[in-house]
Amino acid sequence: MKRNNLEYYDLNADKWWKEDETLYLSNHLNNSRFKFFSNFVPDWKGLKVLDIGCGGGLACEFVANLNADISGIDLSFNSIKIAQEHARKSNLKIDYQRALAEKLPYEENSFDVVLCFDVLEHVE
């Protein structure tokens, strides 16, 4: 991840779940995104899903509410911390880890579905 982007997300991590903040805007895309994905994945229940670049956990929580087994990784320590706190408050079981997409902390072939939203523009 580009250094200035990582610094931005670490400094602004507390804004992921604030409805009047820019970072929360991606939450409004989830209904449209997953409506489209339902053409390919009609039932998420029980699927093992990985969200690469999960940020504050917006998509992870959406998927958790579809009864999938969700894990999320992000390079931003503070974003992972916020995601963990929000999931705990929401009584959702989500495995969050700080990790690089190039060095996943999981065994090969561990997931049925891998998500990667709004991440590629941050990759060098």
Alpha helices per DSSP H over 45-96: 58-64, 77-89
Number of domains in the chain: 1
CATH code assigned at 111: 3.40.50.150
Helix (H, G, I), strand (E, B) or coil at 73: strand
Q: CA-CA distance, 40 to 9, in Å (whole number)?
A: 31
**Per-residue pLDDT tens digits for 74-119:** 999 999 999 999 999 999 999 999 999 999 999 999 999 999 988 8
Domain holding 43, by residue range, is: 3-122
**Predicted structure pTM score:** 0.86
Q: CA-CA distance, 49 to 68, in Å (whole number)?
A: 7
